[in-house]
Amino acid sequence: MISATTYQAATIVAQTIEQHFIEQSGSAKVLNYQPLAAVPSAYVIEKIIDVAFWASLRREEGHIIKISLSYLSPEQAQLPVIFQQRLPLTPATLTKLAPGVERPGIHIGVWEEDGELYIWGATRSIPSLSFVVDVPEPGLLVVKHKRLDGFGKFANVAVLKGDQVKIIDEQNTALEDCPGFLTSLLGFETLFTDVSANVLVQLAVSMRAHKRGGSLLVVPSASDAWKASIVKPLLYAVEPSFSGLADLVQNKAEELAKGTWQVALNREVDSLAGLTAVDGATIINDKYNLLAFGAKIGRAAGSKPVDEMIVTEPVIGDTEKQLHPAQNGGTRHLSVAQFVHDQRDSLGLVASQDGRFTIFSWSSRKQMVHAHLIDTLLL
């Protein structure tokens, strides 16, 4: 049997996470989504998180542990690797398995029988709403689930780092004043939003992944007013605009029919996101055409310096703060905040080298720049 839980954060979040999966599964069944994963009990959630946490603090031949665990039976997986003998769900077992299953997309299969959790094998295919615990670094756990449409990044439910716990707030009131596609990017518009076509969330993940920091400006395709906030000359202007990603989005139905949508999307997104590693901002329009990269942001003529903005994080217990942009980050954050202050129909995405990620938008309700801290959604 699994020993008593010693990672107290697991006990604290277990019931809240269980309720999340009960609600999501219930909503999906009403809309007749199939197949769906089994809903994990608070006991299962607590034990898997507890074992994953202690495994994350171990080393295997000097290497840190990176694993993903999913709660499902072997019958719920497609083409799984099934062990002849069940393995106990312990930190020691996970430590030994980790080198062989650390590649992205591989999940260690965990199931329960007679109150005992065990490891049955590994799989790349899991059903919608599967309970997943990712271990990306020591002491850091991300609880998430596979989206209903099966495409794109998994939806995060909670992030635990040591004794710090962040539960994603799906009813975050700060989103009421955001552009519609930003709420879709954050995953809160509705459980059944077609997130596979949400290119911005894929770009955000890819920008964060290269770990060099970067800025991406999304400007309206119907106007060139944004050029007033860019320093001339534009060394890396793209003329005509590059439409690789735009064409793919426009032809999404065709790519889906061929079964090549996700692969093609990843290729185009990674190519574009890679440009954000170049010093300066990458600029695309709202149709995903690439306009420039390495651009220097300047204050528009006649505009005032941005001296205050709203800062929120979509986690339960967060309170809205009003800060000077310099208190939220460095030069990159300040310049993008100024850009959005001057070009209020634009968005700014900023990735920091340390993994922090901020989306800047204009709040018409508060009449100031709104900085959304969303790294908890991108882990």
Give residue-wise pLDDT tens across range 249-292.
888 888 888 888 888 988 999 999 999 999 999 999 999 999 99
DSSP classification of residue 353: T
Q: How would you class 10 by CB atoms within 10 Å of its CB: exposed for 0-12, middle for 13-18, buried for 19 or more?
A: buried
Nearest Cα residue to 12 out of 153, 192, 177, 165 = 165
**Is residue 3 a part of any domain in this protein?**
no
Cβ-Cβ contacts under 8 Å for 134 (sequence gap 6 or more):
67, 68, 141, 142, 144, 379
> Distance between alpha carbon 26 and the CA centroid of its chain, in Å?
24
- Condensed to tens digits (0 to 9), the pLDDT of residues 45-83 reads 999 999 999 999 999 888 899 999 999 999 999 899 999
DSSP state of 284: E
Assess whether 353 and 221 both reside in one domain: yes
- d(CA 160, CA 163) in angstroms, rounded, equals 7
**Model pLDDT, residue 196:** 38
End residue of a domain, out of 167, 195, 225: 167
Contact present, 328 and 209 (Cβ < 8 Å):
no
Residue 107 lies in a domain: yes
State how many domains the chain has.
2
Q: What is the mean pLDDT of residues 31-53?
A: 92
Query: Are residues 196 and 139 located together in one domain of the fold?
Result: no
Note whether residue 46 is domain-resident: yes
pLDDT band at 3 (very low <50, low <70, confident <90, very high): low
Which of these three, 135, 167, 199, is where a domain ends?
167
Same domain, 153 and 181: no
Range of the domain at 145: 8-167
- The answer to whether the beta carbons of residues 58 and 52 sit under 8 Å apart is no
- The predicted model gives 296-318 an average pLDDT of 90
Q: What is the pLDDT of residues 183-235, one digit of tens each?
A: 554 444 443 344 334 788 889 889 999 999 999 999 999 999 999 999 999 99
- Predicted local distance difference test score (pLDDT) of residue 326: 82
Q: Would you say residue 308 lies in a domain?
A: yes
Inform me whether the pLDDT recorded for 340 exceeds 80: yes
- pLDDT above 70 covers what percent of the chain? 91
Residues 195 and 309 reside in one and the same domain: yes
pLDDT of residue 153: 74
Tell me: do 220 and 139 sit in the same domain: no
The whole-number pLDDT of residue 197 equals: 43
Question: DSSP per residue over 73-115, as a string?
Answer: -GGGSSS-EEEEEEEE--HHHHHHHHHHH-STT-EEEEEEETT
- For the chain, the maximum distance between any two Cα atoms, rounded to a whole number of angstroms, is 72
Do both 149 and 261 map to the same domain? no
Domain identity same for 161 and 17: yes
Determine the pLDDT at residue 325: 83
Query: Is 250 a domain residue?
Result: yes
* Residues 214 and 131 reside in one and the same domain: no
The token duo for 227 is 């050029």
Q: Apex CA 98: angle with CA 24 and CA 196, to 5°?
A: 35
Residues 182 and 161 in one domain: no
Is 163 in the same domain as 178? no
CA distances from 291 to 48, 162, 235, 271, 275 (A): 46, 42, 12, 14, 12
Residue 13 above 90 pLDDT? yes
**pTM given for the model:** 0.82
Euclidean distance between CA atoms 202 and 209, whole angstroms: 11
Together in a domain, 110 and 200: no
User: Is 1 part of a structural domain of the chain?
Assistant: no
Please tell me the distance from the alpha carbon of residue 243 to that of residue 240, in angstroms, as a whole number. Answer: 9
C-alpha dist (Å) from residue 361 to 174, 231, 310, 331, 340: 12, 21, 10, 17, 6
**Average pLDDT of span 104-131:** 94
Alpha-carbon distance 8 to 29, whole Å?
A: 33
pLDDT of 192: 38
Residues 237 and 329 grouped into a single domain: yes
